[in-house]
Amino acid sequence: MLTKEATTQATDGKIPKLIGESVTRVDAREKVTGAAIFTDDMQFGPGLLFARILRSPHPHALIKRIDVSKAKALPGVKAVATGELTPGYIGLYLHDRHIFCRDRVRYVGDPVAGVAAIDEETAQRAVDLIEVEYEVLPPVLDPEYGASQEAPLLHPDLGKYTVANFIFPVAGTNISNHFKIRKGDVEGAWAKCAAIVERKYRVPHVQHVPIEPHVAVAKWDEADNITLWASSQSPFAQRNLIAKALDISQSKIEVISPYLGGGFGSKAGVSMEALAVVIASAVKGRPVKLRLTREEEFYTTFVRQGLVAHFKMGCDKDGRLLAMENKYYWDAGAYTEYGVNMARAGGYSSTGPYDVPNVKADSLCIYTNHPVGGPMRGFGMPELHSGLEQCIDDLARQIGMDAVEFRKLNCVREGDIIVTGMKMHPIGLSECIDKAAQAIGWGKKAAPRAPSKRRGKGLAIMWKAPAMPPNAGSSARISLNEDGTVTVAVSGQELGQGTFTVMAQMAAAALGVPYDWVRVAGPVDTKYSPYEWQTVASRLTWSMGNAVVGAARDARKQIVDMVAEAWREDPNDLDIVDGNVVSYKTEESKSLKDIAIYGLPKPNDEGWRGGPVLGRGSFMPTYVTGLDPETGQGPRAVVHYTTGCQAVEVEVDMDTGKVEIIRAVSAYDVGRAINPDMVKAQMEGGLVQGISTALFEALQLKDGVLQNPSFVDYRIATSSDAPHDIEAIIVEVPQDDGPWGARGVGEHPMVPTIPAIANAIYDAIGVRFESPPFTSEKVYLGMVEAGIVK
């Protein structure tokens, strides 16, 4: 439960503004205050066991034999689990992996066996005693090669896997999803183009690197009831996927998830949590804890997928885009339960936020023997926009047109028929472009701070839709306490983005109570909490917000109807303002503190009316339609798009190649900013994370083996790398189905950062690079190759 103490203004149906605030967490099971530290024994008892995992050393191999006898004989070992316990498949959109490998391994780190012991050291010694005989197979280490007929098949049974009806695997290949766009006459349009650009770009794998590593504790009792404590963005999805994989009822699994120590998508779906559950099945009645090391965190959980992208685009002499032909090869790794949907998102967003009449796009999800690709902030859009927005700059330059004017001419607007045939809803993208360009001083050259440096400006625009099934739902409950305070129950996760604060604001505004009367319950517990699909896709403000507003209005109606009956008034004449039921007709007023639980007495001691108030709300979009598998066309591909623009100014050191971000501006259309300060914080945080992937981050894979699985060799941006001057600009064009018109903006600020920086580097030194990160070494060598420096 989240308790917030704040000074508020009267709600009267408006979003309360927070003037000052402090936050204390109150758990449903125990109150945690100060710096109290609870040991494992205190929470789970002295019977807690610890698990370690034996992982594949090969990127691709058959398992010929496993001998666990020595491990089982080691004192302190309580159980050893292998693929014999996991015959079923698990996965979100595509069921393509066993919890423990059975017949083959497909990446370095694939789980082969697990050990439960009295401590981690004993468990690791037992892991080292397990003997596995492998038959090494040739790996697939490049997605373009993986899509070819020459590549070895990594999943021979692909055609037999269970798959969502909007995913299109190609049996007999390594293509687990092929999303196609066919719009207009692309071939006929090329002859009409005055300028054409063709480019190839690569984007490497990166890691989410949350401060808190993955950790889970599982207990499987004698009655086959399972409790899973997990650091998770997806408690209900975990319950569902694990239940299906183990062929048990969802009612037998309880997932409990407290606050997360960072997620960014890495803790969505199921990665390591099912391993703990399976190991616990072998030691019934005893909880088993599995905590990944930092090294494991780098390559055994989800990574951001790699991408090889081919772009071809053309415009007429006036700069109007006429055609695009783009092909995306997504390096989705060994299993693609999430990757298939990323390829789908890449398809329906393949043109970027541009109005293009003729489009051919192929977005292919490819199995490789790399770590498993999964959701990361932006869900494929940072990778897709990375090359596309550089091509847009090059095309504008080729036609002799300013990059800002080119984008304003071609960007999507309300009423446009976009790439999938969907009619675009109202958006403020052109306003975002104007505001970002003005704020960065577009068209004005500033002198570098030293003779050895060159300065440049760059800009990029973006769009992103919530990448989710058409029927992803949210629900919420609102109850009132004796003193009139309000408890909101939801299952969207708080992972630092401020969703609990926003839900409390919405509940307060819709119900009519002060903000500081509202508490948000926690931790999320699938046994007691209302359903939520997942905390992904920047959808909670919109989707869960609608559910919370519905629950608040339901509770409000119950209260108003009860009081109207007691006062013999029309409910339409009553309102709830600042925690009081008021009559606009008689000016009578009654505090909720007196009536929320016990109701109101009838005259002459003839009984009572009312009773405990419990509001319920749910939301699910019902209007997203299917798309033609051959053309990608349909009435409504997605619920909505959030759009925006980012502009940066950089300096490049000609002696070292170091790129420094001097200034940065972000402008996003968020529909309605429920909490403007938090919206701006998301813009700033996304920018810095985008800078990190643009300048520093890449998983260095050699023959399928990760070479830099630690912070010693994997560099991420710190506060010293952030620009001193960051400006966040909010544009508000309301979303028709959002609460107060709101849309999500959590992921979007990271999407255009790479191309904005790349365009600024080009403006400074006139050099393009095929792939980020734009490290000092890469930039310096690029300048040497271009003859700029010697």
**Which amino acids are annotated catalytic?**
747
How many CA atoms are closer than 13 Å to the CA of 433, on its beta-carbon side? 22
Cis peptide before 773 (omega within 30 of 0): yes
List residues bridging with 104 in a β-sheet: 62
The answer to whether 91 and 341 have CB atoms below 8 angstroms apart is: no
Provide the 3-class DSSP secondary structure of residue 651. strand
Asked if residues 386 and 392 have their Cβ atoms less than 8 Å apart, the reply is no
Spell out a b/e string for 110-134, using b for 16 or more CB atoms within 10 Å of the CB, else e.
bbbbbbbbeebebbbbbbebbebeb
What is the CA angle 426-431-437, rounded to 5? 150
The backbone torsions φ and ψ at residue 731, rounded to the nearest 5 degrees and listed phi first, read: -110, 140
Show Cβ contacts of residue 777 under 8 Å, excluding neighbours closer than 6 positions.
657
Q: Are 580 and 513 in contact (CB under 8 A)?
A: no
Please give the angle made by the CA atoms of 668, 670 and 675, to the nearest 5 degrees: 110
Whole-number Å distance between alpha carbons of 53 and 544: 36
Provide the Cα torsion 461, 418, 199, 409; round to 10°: -50
Q: Comparing C-alpha atoms, which of 512, 508, 593, 607 is closest to residue 565?
A: 607
Cα separation of 159 and 176, whole Å?
A: 9
Q: What is the DSSP letter of 118?
A: S
Please compute, for residue 715, the number of CA atoms within 13 A of its CA located in the half-sphere on the CB side: 14
Question: How many other C-beta atoms lie within 10 A of the C-beta of residue 587?
Answer: 7
- Tell me the angle at which helices 753-765 and 676-695 cross, rounded to the nearest 10 degrees: 60
3-state secondary structure of 285: coil
The answer to whether 242 and 228 are in contact (CB under 8 A) is yes
Contacts of 502 (CB under 8 A, 6+ apart): 540, 541, 545, 674, 675, 678
DSSP collapsed to 3 states, 606-617? CCEECCCCEEEE
Distances (CA, A) of 79 to 17, 52, 69, 98: 54, 11, 11, 19
- DSSP annotation of 554: H
